[in-house]
Each structure stands twice: as C-alpha cells, then as structure tokens.
Amino acid sequence: MIFFVRGVWIFLRALCVDAANVSFENIALRQQLAVLQRAVPRPKVYQRDRLFWVCVSRLWSGWRSTLLIVQPATVLAWHRKGFQLYWRWKSRTRTPGRPPIDREIRDLIRRMARENPTWGRRRIQAELRFLGYDVAELTIAKYMRRRSPRPSPTWRTFLETHLREIAAVDFFVVPTLTFRLLFAFLVLRHDRRHLVHINVTTHPTATWTARQVIDAFPYESAPKYLLRDRDAIYGDAFTRRIAEMGIREVLIAPRAPWQNPFAERLIGSIRRECLDHVIVLNERHLRRLLRAYLAYYNTTRPHQALCNDSPLPRDVHPPALGNVVAIPLVAGLHHRYHRAA
C-alpha cells in the first residue's frame, strides 16, 4: 500500500512539474517574441522586461534554455542591480543628521561671522543665547563659512574700518571752446562717496589748493588721512597747511592712479555723465556745470557701493504719495524722479 501511494505521488508530481515547465517555456517564448517584434534589428529591452526575466529566473530552473534575446549573464546582472536598489531603498536615512534650524538663525550666524571676523563659534553661540537661540557649537561652525580657524580681517574690512577718516583729492583738465585749459580740483570722502568740494582755476598753486581743502573741511571736520598723487602742484605751502589741520598725507606710488581709485572713478563719471556732452565756454561756465553735477551726485545719483543709494540718503516715495514728477538736473542731462500730490 505504501509503495502504491508513493508511486501515485511521484506520477502526479512529475505530471505537474512537466506541465509547469511547458507553461513557463510557453510564456518565456511568447514574451521574447513580443520583444523581437518591437524593434529591428536590435530589440529594445524595457525595465518591465528586465523585471520579467528576473522573476522567471527565480521561479523556473530551465529559463536558460529558452533565452534568446540576451545572455543569461545579463539577466543575472539585472538581478544584482535590483538587489542593490532594493537595499539602497531599504537602508535610506529618513532623518539625516541634526534637525534643521530656521533660515533666520542661519542668516544671523553668517551675519555675525561676517561682521565680526575675530569671533569664534563659542562667542557667536554666547551672543545667540542672549537673543534666545540655543544652538550647538558644531552647528554654528557649519554655517559660519569661515575658511581659517584663526581668521584675520580682509583688506576690504580693514579699509571699511578707516573709510570715515579718509579723503581723496585730485585734479583733472578740461579744455574750453577756445582750447584753453582749465584745472578742476575735487575733494571726496571715502565713507559715503561724498563729493565735498569742487572748484576751477586757470593757474593752480599750492596755496590755492590748500585753500580749497580748508573750505572743504570747516569747523574741525577734517579727516585723519588725505590721499593724493605726487603732482608738483602740492608744494610746501600745501603740505604745511594740511599738517596744521591735523591731516596726514598719504601719497600713492608714482604713475599708479589705480591707488586712488575713488577719485579717479569720480573724474571718469564727471566726464562720461556731464563734460562729454557739452562744450565748455569759459571758467564760469565750467564752475556752474561742476557745481550742478556736485548737487546731482550727492543727492540723486545712486551708487552700487551704497546699496543703490546716494551719498546723501534719499527718501522712498510710495505710490500713495501721488504721481511721478521729473526734475531736470545738470542742464537737463539727468533727472530726479519723485512723487508729488
């Protein structure tokens, strides 16, 4: 009896296994035929085809005998790639690292590090604690964006610290209608790019130049340093009067106008925005033009270094104040716009 049952079981098992093999072989051949019908001469295998053969290779041991369009090693490579993708998805980090801090705190950390180059992360941490923010040291170090652990102030920071105490002077030449040369002299403060003084003469001397500096800085408003070139116009009389005002002269290198950049840039702006568009008649005409440009430069002209504001800050006029009105300046070469009811 036992042998009979065992024989029946072997027969049924062989029958079912053979039927399954035939079914799998039929499915595999039909699938490959569908792939071959898509493209000629080289069929294109899609992701769903790769997934199909990976599953068949796991369920059917005879899948290699019916595989025609790709090599069996290719199917195994697909399976390994799927295994890698599965475990990459399985091992993904759902909450990476520390919890993120608000953008406001990040910007505040960067601002403190930028405005205080000698501060370290502990000093910034203490300052943030006074503002009600409890931030870890490593988090502060991450957002400080500082290259060196022992920072030193940059040249820009160093110069910005002393801008209030620096003024620059320079001459430039303007020809008239009759080809006569006039000498224009300007005084510029570095902190707000403020054009303090401008004047014109036909025969510049050291005494006249010193008088212009005195007129530019009355009532003990003189800066600590005066930047100038090595022109022979600045003689002994000029040097003595400047020293009496408590101003220290800083001379640029010979033939190096780039060392007095703000004054040189201002002279270029005067030429491009005013003098290149008119013919100067005489000394009086030039003085009137330059004084008109001085008022426009200080009160209206925006500067990128001042966040697009003028040396003398301008007020913002919202639309509620009325319509836009244009006021011509510098003989109509420029206009100032504001709102009027």
Q: Tell me the pLDDT tens digit for each residue of 278-319.
A: 999 999 999 999 999 999 999 999 888 888 889 999 888 888
Task: Using alpha carbons, select from 196, 185, 170 the residue that is nearest to residue 294.
Answer: 196
pLDDT score for 176:
94
Of 45 and 230, which is predicted with more confidence?
A: 230
- Give the pLDDT confidence of 97-156 residue by residue, as tens digits: 667 788 888 888 888 888 887 788 888 888 888 888 888 888 888 888 765 555 556 666
Contact 292, 302 (CB under 8 A): no
Asked if residue 188 and residue 127 are part of one domain, the reply reads no
Task: Using alpha carbons, select from 234, 287, 226, 218 the residue that is nearest to residue 260.
Answer: 226
Of 138 and 35, which is predicted with more confidence?
A: 138
Q: Is residue 23 part of a domain?
A: yes
Asked if residue 296 and residue 175 are part of one domain, the reply reads yes
| DSSP-derived secondary structure for 170-231 | EEEEEE-TTS-EEEEEEEEETTTTEEEEEEEESS--HHHHHHHHHHHS-TT---SEEEE---
Q: Is residue 79 part of a domain?
A: yes
**DSSP letter, residue 282:** S
pLDDT score for 33:
66
The domain in which residue 55 lies consists of 2-87
Asked if residue 120 and residue 251 are part of one domain, the reply reads no
What's the CATH code of the domain at 255? 3.30.420.10
Asked if residue 67 and residue 107 are part of one domain, the reply reads no
Percent of the chain with pLDDT over 70: 79
Q: Is residue 332 part of a domain?
A: no
Contact 146, 113 (CB under 8 A): yes
- Identify the sign of the CA torsion 322, 328, 330, 332: positive
Rounded-to-integer distance, Cα 184 and Cα 200, Å: 4
Asked if residue 190 and residue 136 are part of one domain, the reply reads no
| pLDDT, the chain, mean | 82
Any idea which of 156-160, 184-188, 227-231, 301-305 has the lowest mean pLDDT? 156-160
pLDDT score for 231:
92
Rounded-to-integer distance, Cα 337 and Cα 316, Å: 11
Rounded-to-integer distance, Cα 264 and Cα 171, Å: 10
Number of domains in the chain: 3
Tracing tokens 């950390």 back to the chain, one arrives at 109
Q: How confident is the model at residue 70 (pLDDT cuts 50, 70, 90)?
A: low
- Give the pLDDT confidence of 46-60 residue by residue, as tens digits: 777 777 767 777 777
Rounded-to-integer distance, Cα 328 and Cα 249, Å: 38
